[in-house]
Structure 1
Amino acid sequence: MAAIELINVVKRYGDGEPAVNNVSLDIADGEFMILVGPSGCGKSTLLRMIVGLEDITEGEIRIGGVRVNEMAPRERNLAMVFQNYALYPHLTVFENIAFPLRLAKRPDHEVTERVEHVAEMLELKELLRRKPSQLSGGQRQRVAMGRAIVRDAQAFLFDEPLSNLDAKLRGQMRTEISRLQRRLGTTTVYVTHDQTEAMTLGDRVAVLRKGTLQQCATPRELYENPVNLFVAGFIGAPPMNLLPARVSGGQVELPFCTVPVPQGVDPDEVEGRLLIAGLRPGHFEDAEYVEAGKLELGQTFEATVDVTEWLGNEQFAYVPYESPPEIRAQVEALAQELDMEAAHPQLIISLDPASRIQEGQRARFWVDVRRMHLFDPRTGANLALSSAAVS
């Protein structure tokens, strides 16, 4: 096991544009670090630089305190699990797992002992004589993980290992990977574009955008305190509601109600500004299901519901609203960057599954205004967290 340090790491290709731009990141010994972001953000490139499959243009990478920039991949003692499993079709499960030990010329008795130990850990003992073509997708991925574990590597690197699996199997494999990492305590760097994997697996999550690190924090911190509009829009499912917000007289005028300027934002510095307010669907409720003592902590309002979705354990209501062209254009551009479909402006409200609100109904809702964020449309910065005053 070893800590991994990325110090001002840059990767440029032939066109000169940085695929990874001045990324600095400290990954603690034994930590499970997630690299997440939309397609093309540089997360896989960063992982490949750590393992040595990509050269570093600028900066430095240290593993266990040792500079590895000039080291070949085989000298870094890292184990990588790929998206496509990368198993040898002509070898049995046993020999696929044993392959790194064979390369290291380990004695047969040690190979057998270690492969059987790993196979038992991954519930593969009954499959050791099979070939990869006789395995399911989840079994193949466990074999690939076994080949990585058997090496006693300093760190595990996962490059979108679950993206070829169906949704149910992905959930099962997430649990297995999490349990295994906690058991082994090995430093792990895991690349994914799936925020569910990011939020459920990682000790910390590093969010990348166009090669630049936006925020690195625990999943809860990312969800509750995104540093900018990009992180706010990327983290959360359903996504955060991004609403036009006009500040006037110390109040924030939203499409459906007027609320106080949130704590941490100086009302004088945003007076008269058109901003973007962020409120998650879970910060709303059907007012009929809010306790009396809680009502006064937020704001109630009425709105007409366009569509409802009942999913058994959760329910959502969709309320359309009007948005100024400049705010709508920015939100649509963000949705496009995040590979989401840009729909017409609508408020997403999370309801109690027992709520009986119907489509087309004028209903009374409650919003927890204490949880609202305000973002600068020009810079995207979260004004409550920004150290610089916004004029």
Structure 2
Amino acid sequence: MASITLKNIVKKYDDGFPAVNDVSIDIEDGEFVILVGPSGCGKSTLLRMIVGLEDITSGDLLIDGERVNEKAPRDRNLAMVFQNYALYPHLTVYENIAFPMRLTKGKFSDQEVDDRVRQAAHMLELTDHLERKPANLSGGQRQRVAMGRAIVRHANAFLFDEPLSNLDAKLRGQMRAEISQLQRSLNTTSVYVTHDQTEAMTLGDRVAVLKKGVLQQIASPRELYEQPANLFVAGFIGAPSMNFLPGTVEGDVLQTPLGEIQLPEGTADAGRGKEIVLAGIRPDFFEDAATLTETQLAKGTTFEATLTHTEWLGNEQYVYVSYENDPRVAEVLQTLAEEMDADELRTQLVVSVDATSRLRGGDAATLWVDSRRIHLFDPATGENLTRDAEAGAELTRMAREDRQRDAERAAAQRES
């Protein structure tokens, strides 16, 4: 295991374009860090620089405190799991897993190779498939073989380059759980690249959000969700995406196209004096007022809206409300949509309500919003005007404690 430190890492190509621009990240020993962002944000380039497949234009890359910028990939003792698995079709599962050890030419005895391969196969439930060829395996089994090949190397760190993108949705969910459990049991430093924010939120101890080669924020998934640094992070993290409602703060009231929303004093203070703000409101900050008690209603504010349509998903329900956008923020929202790889950010509110709610399209409904959780953003800069940095840091600190507890539990299980 090893720590990985990136200090002001820059990658420029021949045309001078910075694919990665001044990125600094400290990855702790045993930590699982996710690099996430839309296509072309530089996440895979950054991963390839860590493993040594891309040269570093400037900055320092340290593994366990040692600068490795000029070291060849084979000398960094890092194991990479590729998107296409990179298995050898003519070799059995056994030989595919053993291959990295065979390359060392005599470093491992046949018995050591066999012990490590069978141990990895047992961990990954591949023991019954060791004599099969990759073509006869399912997508999930091939993924596990690629991971087994990384495990037997006893590498300092695992690097994953979108390893689940070729799998169907159900299998992706299953493999997410397997990767998470494996990383926790091995406590191996891991860096994982994905464009899927669901993978990022469910797997990572910390998540680094990239946009156009620039690090926007690195924090625990919960801090990113509850205390995003800017419009891009707020919009990219979370599914469905955060709603961005244009408005103006007058006193303690946010004037919006959907009516007035009463704000807590601290939130109102942050937006007061701005010509216009964007109110960031996640779908789960809402509820059908008819399903709440008086005590619950008192913790937020209500407003009237006409619903366009609803989506019932069994465990939850989404209702949609259209509104007239403010032309002063139209360009900002269109740019944000393009940065997030979306066609456009529609001028409609997505509201999550209880699955038992009887709201339907065309209804005139009273909706409740938890105004304590609303964020206000400056459209000109994208800055989150209401971000509580201390509260966010506390969320990430608690996540670190949880990881350490997991590591201690896994170590105890290995010793028993």
Bucket of the pairwise TM-score, normalised by the shorter protein? over 0.9
CA RMSD of aligned residues (A): 1.4
Code of the residue aligned with 1:4 in structure 2: it is: I
Q: What is the DSSP-based 3-state SS (H/G/I as helix, E as strand, rest coil) of the residue aligned with 1:40?
A: coil
Could you say which residue in structure 1 is the equivalent of 2:301?
299
C-alpha separation in 2, matches of 1:77 and 1:261: 53
C-alpha separation in 2, matches of 1:269 and 1:256: 18
Asked whether the equivalents of residues 288 and 357 of structure 2 are also in contact (C-alpha less than 8 Å), the reply is yes
Q: Deviation string for 1:276-300 (max 9, x for gaps)? A: 1100000000001112111111111
Code of the residue aligned with 2:47 in structure 1: it is: L
Runs of 4+ aligned residues of structure 1 deviating over 6 Å after TM superposition are none
Could you say which residue in structure 2 is the equivalent of 1:380?
382
* Farther-moved stretch of structure 1 (291-300 vs 259-268): 259-268
Could you say which residue in structure 1 is the equivalent of 2:245?
243
Could you say which residue in structure 1 is the equivalent of 2:341?
339
Could you say which residue in structure 2 is the equivalent of 1:15?
15
How far 1:323 moved relative to its partner?
1.0
Asked whether the equivalents of residues 261 and 267 of structure 1 are also in contact (C-alpha less than 8 Å), the reply is no
Q: Counterparts in 2 of 1:281-360, with a 5 A limit?
A: 281-342=283-344, 344-360=346-362
Code of the residue aligned with 2:227 in structure 1: it is: N
How far 1:386 moved relative to its partner?
8.5
**Count of aligned pairs:** 387
C-alpha separation in 2, matches of 1:103 and 1:240: 49
Could you say which residue in structure 2 is the equivalent of 1:217?
219
Q: Counterparts in 2 of 1:62-141, with a 5 A limit?
A: 62-104=62-104, 105=106, 106-141=108-143
Code of the residue aligned with 1:57 in structure 2: it is: T
Change over 3 Å in CA distance of 1:42–1:130 after alignment to 2: same
Asked whether the equivalents of residues 174 and 197 of structure 1 are also in contact (C-alpha less than 8 Å), the reply is yes
Could you say which residue in structure 2 is the equivalent of 1:49?
49
How far 1:268 moved relative to its partner?
7.7
TM-score, normalised via structure 2 length:
0.91
Q: What is the DSSP-based 3-state SS (H/G/I as helix, E as strand, rest coil) of the residue aligned with 2:11?
A: strand
C-alpha separation in 2, matches of 1:75 and 1:268: 51
* Farther-moved stretch of structure 1 (343-352 vs 228-237): 343-352
Q: What is the DSSP-based 3-state SS (H/G/I as helix, E as strand, rest coil) of the residue aligned with 1:383?
A: coil
Q: What is the DSSP-based 3-state SS (H/G/I as helix, E as strand, rest coil) of the residue aligned with 1:25?
A: strand
C-alpha separation in 2, matches of 1:294 and 1:265: 20
C-alpha separation in 2, matches of 1:199 and 1:183: 19
Code of the residue aligned with 1:359 in structure 2: it is: G
Change over 3 Å in CA distance of 1:117–1:316 after alignment to 2: same
C-alpha separation in 2, matches of 1:371 and 1:263: 12
Could you say which residue in structure 1 is the equivalent of 2:208?
206
C-alpha separation in 2, matches of 1:371 and 1:205: 21
Could you say which residue in structure 2 is the equivalent of 1:257?
259
Change over 3 Å in CA distance of 1:11–1:67 after alignment to 2: same
How far 1:344 moved relative to its partner?
3.5
Unaligned 5+ segments in structure 1 are none
C-alpha separation in 2, matches of 1:272 and 1:133: 61
C-alpha separation in 2, matches of 1:166 and 1:367: 35
Change over 3 Å in CA distance of 1:59–1:339 after alignment to 2: same
Give the helix-richer structure, 1 or 2: 2
Q: Deviation string for 1:158-216 (max 9, x for gaps)? A: 00000000000000000000000000000000000001100000000000000000000
C-alpha separation in 2, matches of 1:268 and 1:44: 37
Q: What is the DSSP-based 3-state SS (H/G/I as helix, E as strand, rest coil) of the residue aligned with 2:25?
A: strand
Q: What is the DSSP-based 3-state SS (H/G/I as helix, E as strand, rest coil) of the residue aligned with 1:39?
A: coil
Could you say which residue in structure 2 is the equivalent of 1:234?
236
Query: Does residue 4 in structure 1 map to residue 4 in structure 2?
Result: yes
C-alpha separation in 1, matches of 2:345 and 2:253: 28
Unaligned 5+ segments in structure 2 are 390-416
Could you say which residue in structure 2 is the equivalent of 1:152?
154
C-alpha separation in 2, matches of 1:24 and 1:213: 8
Asked whether the equivalents of residues 205 and 219 of structure 1 are also in contact (C-alpha less than 8 Å), the reply is yes
Q: Kindly, what percent of the aligned residue pairs are identical?
A: 65
Code of the residue aligned with 2:52 in structure 1: it is: G
C-alpha separation in 2, matches of 1:268 and 1:208: 26
C-alpha separation in 2, matches of 1:266 and 1:308: 31
C-alpha separation in 2, matches of 1:7 and 1:112: 40
Query: Does residue 58 in structure 1 map to residue 58 in structure 2?
Result: yes
Asked whether the equivalents of residues 300 and 365 of structure 1 are also in contact (C-alpha less than 8 Å), the reply is yes
Q: What is the DSSP-based 3-state SS (H/G/I as helix, E as strand, rest coil) of the residue aligned with 1:172?
A: helix
